[in-house]
Amino acid sequence: MSEPEKRDSGDRGTATAEKPRLDRQRILEAGAAFIEQFGPRHLSMRRLGTQLGVEAMSLYRYVPSRENLLDGIVEVVIDDLYKDPEVYSEPRHGWQDYLLRLAHGLRRLALAHPQVFPLIATRPTEAPWVRPPLRSLRWVESFLKALTSAGFSDQAAVDAYRAFSSFLLGHLLLEVAAMGADVGPVDEAEPRPPKSTDLNGYPLLQRLQERLSEDRSEQEFEEALESLLDRLEALQA
């Protein structure tokens, strides 16, 4: 009780700091942080081990493989969606409000984790009809409940679910890609040279290059989302 917690070795000055102890959750969180910092391509069992002050082989006590590690990281990050106080898992002010909140919550999540989001969007899911970026039985159930309760037929609710997933996937993937995220493999070693593309022979690209480079992602998202909701409204019984 009275003994201060200090071992004879003191702090050994390992890679990042003296970390408390290994467990699955800590490994997954460290993995997410690693990917956000260096990109998914740089995540190796060995480097993650070093980051945690441990040999790579120790990770296998908690994580059966690198693939499973990546799946776990995706889960850990997507868990934030359940914690987002602005996102409801069942509608409180109508289905449109529910969908708007869900869409905005996912967008916040993507922007907060631009390097991890491509994994959320592209890792295989447990069943083919569990579509990214929703990815979990729980959210699909929640989605279908919200819409059928609001008067959508079974088929209309399923169609809405598909349209909603495609919409989010396309928009958010392109948005994080534009942030320079690691959508697929990338080299962050080279910070992307200015790369002044040669636009000779492309008069419209020359004329519109400034407009093309403007960041209109927020307006884009809001307008497309609104248009999607209008379309879904037409599906309602």
Partner DNA sequence: ACCTGAACACCGTTCAAGT
Contact footprint for DNA (CB under 7 A): 21-22, 43-47, 49, 54-58, 60-61, 64-67
Tell which positions 22-81 bind its own copies, by CB under 8 A.
Answer: 67, 70
Task: Please give the C-alpha separations between residue 225 and each of 162, 187, 221, 230, 231, in angstroms, as whole numbers.
Answer: 14, 33, 6, 9, 10
CB 65 → DNA: shortest distance, Å? Answer: 3
Which CB sits closer to DNA, 41 or 104?
41
Tell which positions 122-141 bind its own copies, by CB under 8 A.
Answer: 122-124, 126-129, 131-132, 137-138, 140-141
CB 234 → DNA: shortest distance, Å? Answer: 47
Among 25, 178, 218, 233, binds its own copies (CB under 8 A): 178
**16 binding partner (options DNA, its own copies, none; Cβ < 5 to 8 Å by kind):** none
**93 binding partner (options DNA, its own copies, none; Cβ < 5 to 8 Å by kind):** none
Nearest to 106 by CA among 68, 144, 132: 132
Asked if 93 interacts with its own copies (CB under 8 A), we say no
x/- binding map, residues 194-223, to its own copies, per CB under 8 A? -x-x-x--xxxx-xxx-xxx--x---x---
Residues that bind its own copies (CB under 8 A): 67, 70, 118-119, 121-124, 126-129, 131-132, 137-138, 140-141, 144-145, 148, 154-155, 157-159, 161-163, 165-171, 173-174, 177-178, 180, 183-187, 195, 197, 199, 202-205, 207-209, 211-213, 216, 220, 224, 227, 231
